[in-house]
Amino acid sequence: MRILGIDPGLQTTGFGVVDVDGQALGYVASGTITTTHLARGDLPARLKVLFDGIAQVRERYRPDAAAVEIVFVNSNPQSTLLLGQARGACVTALVACDLSVAEYTAVQMKRAIAGHGQAAKPQVQAMVQRLLKLPGLPGPDAADALGLAITHAHAGASMARLAQATPTARRTSGMYRGGRTY
């Protein structure tokens, strides 16, 4: 299974692609899509760059599923709204290609990758490097995107086991409190 992770941002959106075979993880690609070459006030053009960039990544690497970070609310409402629009462009590009999209918070990803939800970016980068056996540290945005893909690889296996359980067992277990999936 090939998973595409997306760390949305209006200026820089990270992407990471991993292959999953049982418990084995394999690095495929990672990088960023940037809009810094456009005027800050040209929101429609920036959203189009993100939409087109995600569509190109999807076309090139042909993932089977995607994982996207859920937007957090910060102290600046305007920044939160802009980030939400960037995220919306990314999710729309994914679902327009009929790709299933799972969502995880930054805390869920950090717990899955570094063992605790307050991990700093350098810790996530180092753990992603270790888990994927990379020769060097990935950039912070690409590391977060790879972390989301890895998180989904682990959660996907758990969800598959839950799906195989009987309907009664699924109703009573209540153990999984993961991200949303569309």
Catalytic residue flag (residue 7)? yes
Q: What angle do CA 6, 73, 129 make, to 5 degrees?
A: 35
Candidates 7, 19, 42, 64; catalytic one: 7
Candidates 42, 52, 98, 141; catalytic one: 141
Q: DSSP letter for 68, please.
A: E
Q: How far apart are alpha carbons 27 and 122 in whole angstroms? A: 19
Contact predicate 31/67, CB 8 Å: no
Q: DSSP letter for 27, please.
A: E
Catalytic residue flag (residue 141)? yes
Q: How far apart are alpha carbons 115 and 113 in whole angstroms? A: 6
Q: DSSP letter for 97, please.
A: T
Catalytic residue flag (residue 69)? yes
Contact predicate 113/127, CB 8 Å: yes
Residue type, 158: S
Beta-strand relationship, 12-21 and 2-7: antiparallel
Can you list the positions of beta strands (E) in the chain?
A: 2-7, 12-21, 24-34, 65-69, 100-104
Candidates 19, 42, 64, 69; catalytic one: 69
Residue in the structure block whose two tokens are 């972390």 = 147
Q: Which residues are catalytic?
A: 7, 69, 141
